[in-house]
């Protein structure tokens, strides 16, 4: 049986503490992995799998990644669902040897990297929050808490269990913490629907009494009352977030802002299916491109981009909040010169939130110090640009956070060079003249370099060897090097009395002198001293910044608000958007509305301009429903979606793509547009459609906006018609909602005469010589048919299939008109193969064409022209 080496024993001991994570075991310049970790990592990272020694008679699999490139490998592993425990060396090999020649370097895990706890810029999306979320359910209470340790954001809200899925869709967290227990499987299923990794924690992490103490200790308060009145579930969820951060960060807690309590009725409720359908922040392909967010995002800072996504995902239901945002936007739209100056200054503003977070977690560097300094410089410039007295309250509040750094900014400005290095250990980031002791050490270090150069010339002249060099490495320090051809001369008297041999390699011989050793000691001491002084000053500057963390967080929020409002103003002016009217009425009137994503796509393709349309779902009481008919490809789905997007933009506090819009506050937004299946859960397309429709009918209130497309199309005609009919009646009679209901069941248009809140509308088309032309114009009235065969022809179906389809359609419609009921199968062989297309016979010129060839208009008199016209008419008939 093989003996376990001390190093492998240490590895196995550390790994036993983190069985569910890959262990990055630091060995010099590499993170090594062994056993199953190595096998899994090698496959995930596509790197070589090797072996090192044996364990229980078997080869030990091994792979490794360089420390300097570890972030890229971490990103790949995290995206593939792994957690990584980072085991660092806690002492140098020299320190370990002091305990004995065979002592192993002390190592331990300094950090557990999970999807919700990453802080590195290279692992994060700059314009997206990276939320870690915890859910807790206690008796009749439940709550969600979420934090972004890369920005310090910390929120909590009570949430009914049925609202967990929609809220997770809104937040799109990177990781969900849940208590280990019976409810775990159900929560895991919900999380998997949103592709969110789930991490179970012991129930002790959710204990409300211990959680309250954790929160108070973190924020150094004796009670939570100053932050709000929290129920036990909210406290437990917040406490679980903090406990998990304590576990993963090994006691080094991030700089979280005081918790902000949110209410369920604060924002418009939008479920996951609706978010996917409307492509608010992600397109159906999963990327940012093609989404509403991508089209409206003109922010110039990462913080502004994150705020925009947050607002777009969570449109407000608070009228005062909406109006304050629109008032600020109105002001900036009118002050175009000021807006341009603000945007120019904001472009130079670094990401203050994330720089602060890295400094608090001791993962920062000199560039983070410079980021704070540069932000404060731009904050001062922005503040000087604005006359606050003339500004709306929202802008005044944003600007108020940009001042109050009269001590910090001069300190950072005097201490730091313009562009510092990435790492503190590299040195060279403190400005000359800031610290006299540092300047002295640098002078000695730098003069030492010139002394070495002079010494090299002296030795070269003394030995007569022009190629002699003085070099340095970490093993030998400074040494004299000559080629092997001069070895005999250097090793012989009298030179051997001055030059002390140190090392011989294949091509070089290396020496030292007493004089060189003395100068080396002086230079190294000076260099090390300079580096130690810079590290000490780095800590002092970092502490000064963190002491102003609350003020800096306020500045970051103010800058993000200014960025967002100026970006929305730039969007409104550039795209000719208008300011909506938002109030508490049941108005929903849009004039000249457009779909912003489709409109931009048409412009980029150089195609036709977007056809704007009106929509009026106003109702003082009861339902207001437009029943929309018309062919596929005519623009029904686009019309449905654009009105929902306009409502979202209005309630987030933005101008909208319309000539005018009057939106009475909507409380919920539901969309059932498009077809998809869920095979993993055994759901057909029709089943998914019915589940989503059921959710709408069971939840929509009288202030909801509902858009439904082709309900009932996934089953037999009469089944589908009956479901669509009953759904429309339920929306009208029970939900009493504002809705757009698109359908191909023309029988439903009869309901407009029976239900007072239902109006018929159709998308106009024009037929020309058997072909259909889409006008994309929505008008009142009902379509007479669906033009399905014409659309099939446009799609390129073989001519024989299109012709056969026309024959079948004519027979079916004739049977329906005559009331004949079933059509005999002999008359309508639906399952007979269509005849193969016959090659077209060659056709000669028609009589009309032959007559036209003989006509020369310039040679005809008026009478002859009239006679020619009669001949053409006779030939055509």
- Give binding residues for ATP as ranges: 630-637
Written as six digits, the tokens of 529 are 């001293």
Q: Kindly give the interhelix angle for 408-415 and 366-385, rounded to the nearest 10 degrees.
A: 130
Written as six digits, the tokens of 308 are 């925009």
- Provide the annotated binding site: 630-637
Owner of token pair 């320190």: 95
| Coil, strand or helix at 52 | strand
Q: Cβ distance 809 to 668 under 8 Å?
A: no
Residue 868: other Cβ atoms inside 10 A? 17
Question: Is the dihedral angle over the CA atoms 545, 548, 551, 557 positive or is it negative?
Answer: positive
- For 804-841, letters b (16+ CB in 10 Å) and e give bbeeeeeeeeebeeeeeeebeeeeeeeeeeeeeeeeee
Nearest partner of 503 among 457, 471, 459, 537, judged by Cα: 471
Cα 314 to the center of its chain, rounded Å:
15
Q: Cβ distance 420 to 384 under 8 Å?
A: no
| Coil, strand or helix at 833 | coil
Q: What share of the chain is helix, strand, coil (3-state, %, to 5)?
A: 50, 20, 30
Q: In whole angstroms, what is the distance from residue 455 CA to residue 709 CA?
A: 85
DSSP string, 365-398: -HHHHHHHHHHHHHHHHHHHH--GGGS-HHHHHH
Nearest partner of 148 among 171, 168, 180, 181, judged by Cα: 171
**Strand locations in 106-170, DSSP E?**
107-113, 132-138, 141-148, 153-158
Listed in sequence order, the residues at least 6 apart from 665 whose beta carbon sits closer than 8 Å to its beta carbon are 317, 319, 582, 583, 584, 651, 703
Residue 876: other Cβ atoms inside 10 A? 10
Check whether the bond before 601 is cis (ω within 30° of 0).
no
Q: Cβ distance 482 to 468 under 8 Å?
A: yes
Listed in sequence order, the residues at least 6 apart from 603 whose beta carbon sits closer than 8 Å to its beta carbon are 609
Cα 570 to the center of its chain, rounded Å:
22
Q: In whole angstroms, what is the distance from residue 462 CA to residue 459 CA?
A: 5
Q: In whole angstroms, what is the distance from residue 712 CA to residue 859 CA?
A: 65
Q: Cβ distance 645 to 629 under 8 Å?
A: no
Taking the C-alpha atoms of 450, 451, 456 and 459 in order, what is their torsion angle to the nearest 10 degrees?
A: 160
Q: Cβ distance 378 to 345 under 8 Å?
A: yes
Q: In whole angstroms, what is the distance from residue 609 CA to residue 632 CA?
A: 20
Owner of token pair 């059921």: 694
């Amino acid at each position: 049986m093989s003996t376990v080496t001390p190093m492998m024993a240490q590895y196995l001991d550390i790994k036993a503490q983190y069985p569910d994570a890959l262990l990055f075991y630091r060995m010099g310049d590499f993170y090594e992995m062994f056993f199953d970790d190595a096998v899994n990592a090698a496959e995930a990272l596509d790197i070589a799998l090797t072996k090192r020694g044996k364990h229980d008679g078997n080869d030990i699999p091994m792979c490794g990644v360089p420390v300097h490139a570890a972030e890229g490998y971490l990103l790949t592993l995290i995206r593939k669902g792994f957690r990584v425990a980072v085991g660092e060396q806690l002492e140098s090999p020299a320190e370990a040897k002091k305990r004995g020649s065979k002592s192993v370097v002390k190592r331990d895990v300094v950090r557990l990297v999970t999807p919700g706890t990453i802080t590195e810029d290279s692992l994060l999306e700059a314009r997206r929050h990276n939320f870690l979320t915890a859910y807790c359910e206690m008796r009749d209470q439940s709550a969600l808490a979420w934090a972004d340790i890369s920005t310090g954001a910390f929120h909590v809200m009570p949430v009914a269990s049925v609202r967990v899925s929609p809220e997770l869709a809104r937040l799109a967290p990177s990781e969900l913490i849940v208590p280990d227990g019976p409810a775990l499987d159900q929560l895991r299923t919900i999380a998997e629907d949103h592709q969110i990794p789930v991490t179970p924690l012991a129930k002790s992490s959710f204990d409300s009494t211990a959680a309250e103490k954790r929160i108070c200790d973190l924020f150094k308060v004796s009670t939570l009352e100053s932050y709000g009145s929290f129920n036990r579930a909210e406290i437990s969820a917040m406490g679980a977030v903090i406990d998990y951060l304590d576990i993963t960060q090994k006691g080094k807690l991030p700089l979280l802002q005081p918790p902000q309590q949110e209410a369920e009725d604060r924002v418009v409720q939008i479920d996951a299916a609706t978010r996917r359908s409307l492509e608010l922040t992600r397109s159906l392909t999963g990327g940012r491109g093609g989404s509403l967010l991508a089209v409206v995002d003109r922010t110039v800072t990462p913080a502004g981009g994150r705020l925009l996504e947050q607002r777009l995902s969570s449109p407000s239901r608070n009228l005062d909040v909406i109006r304050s945002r629109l008032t600020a936007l109105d002001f900036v739209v009118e002050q175009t010169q000021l807006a341009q100056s603000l945007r120019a200054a904001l472009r130079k503003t670094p990401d203050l939130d994330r720089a602060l977070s890295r400094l608090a977690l001791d993962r920062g560097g000199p560039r983070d110090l410079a980021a704070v300094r540069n932000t404060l410089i731009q904050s001062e410039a922005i503040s000087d640009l604005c006359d606050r007295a003339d500004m709306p309250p929202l802008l005044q509040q944003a600007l108020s956070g940009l001042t109050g750094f009269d001590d910090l900014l001069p300190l950072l400005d005097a201490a730091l060079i313009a562009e510092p290095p990435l790492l503190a250990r590299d040195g060279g980031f403190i400005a000359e003249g800031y610290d006299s002791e540092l300047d002295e050490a640098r002078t000695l270090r730098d003069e030492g370099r010139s002394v070495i150069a002079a010494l090299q010339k002296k030795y070269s002249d003394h030995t007569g060897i022009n190629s002699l060099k003085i070099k340095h490495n970490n093993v030998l320090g400074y040494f004299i090097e000559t080629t092997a051809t001069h070895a005999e001369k250097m090793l012989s008297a009298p030179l051997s009395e001055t030059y002390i041999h140190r090392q011989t390699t294949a091509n070089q011989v290396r020496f030292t002198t007493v004089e060189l050793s003395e100068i080396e000691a002086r230079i190294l001491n000076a260099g090390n001293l300079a580096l130690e002084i810079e590290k000490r000053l780095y800590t002092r500057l970092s502490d000064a910044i963190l002491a102003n963390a609350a003020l800096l967080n306020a500045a970051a929020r103010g800058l993000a608000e200014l960025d967002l409002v100026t970006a929305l103003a730039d969007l409104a002016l550039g795209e000719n958007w208008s300011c909506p009217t938002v109030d508490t009425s049941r108005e929903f009137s849009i004039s000249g509305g457009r779909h912003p994503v489709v409109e931009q796509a048409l412009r980029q393709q150089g195609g036709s301009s977007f056809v704007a349309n009106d929509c009026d779902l106003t109702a003082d009481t009861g339902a207001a429903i437009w029943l929309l008919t018309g062919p596929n490809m005519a623009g029904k789905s686009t019309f449905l979606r654009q009105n929902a997007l306009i409502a979202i933009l209005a309630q987030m506090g933005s101008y909208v793509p319309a000539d005018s819009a009057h939106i009475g506050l909507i409380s919920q937004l539901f969309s059932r547009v498009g077809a998809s299946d869920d095979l993993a859960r055994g759901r057909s397309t029709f089943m998914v459609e019915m589940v989503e429709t059921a959710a709408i009918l069971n939840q929509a209130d009288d202030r909801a906006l509902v858009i439904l497309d082709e309900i009932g199309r996934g089953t037999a005609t009469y089944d589908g018609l009956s479901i669509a009919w009953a759904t429309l009646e339920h929306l009208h009679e029970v939900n009493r909602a504002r809705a757009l209901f698109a359908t191909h069941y023309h029988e439903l248009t009869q309901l407009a005469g029976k239900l007072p809140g239902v109006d018929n509308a159709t998308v106009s088309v024009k037929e020309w010589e058997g072909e259909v032309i889409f006008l994309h114009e929505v008008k009142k009235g009902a379509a007479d048919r669906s033009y399905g065969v014409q659309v099939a022809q446009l799609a390129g179906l073989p001519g024989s299939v299109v012709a056969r389809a026309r024959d079948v359609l004519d027979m079916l419609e004739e049977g329906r008109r005559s009331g004949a009921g079933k059509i005999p199968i002999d008359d309508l062989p639906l399952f007979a193969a269509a005849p193969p297309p016959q090659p077209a016979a060659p056709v000669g010129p028609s009589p009309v064409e032959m007559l036209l060839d003989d006509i020369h208009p310039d040679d005809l008199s008026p009478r002859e022209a009239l006679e020619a016209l009669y001949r053409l008419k006779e030939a055509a008939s």
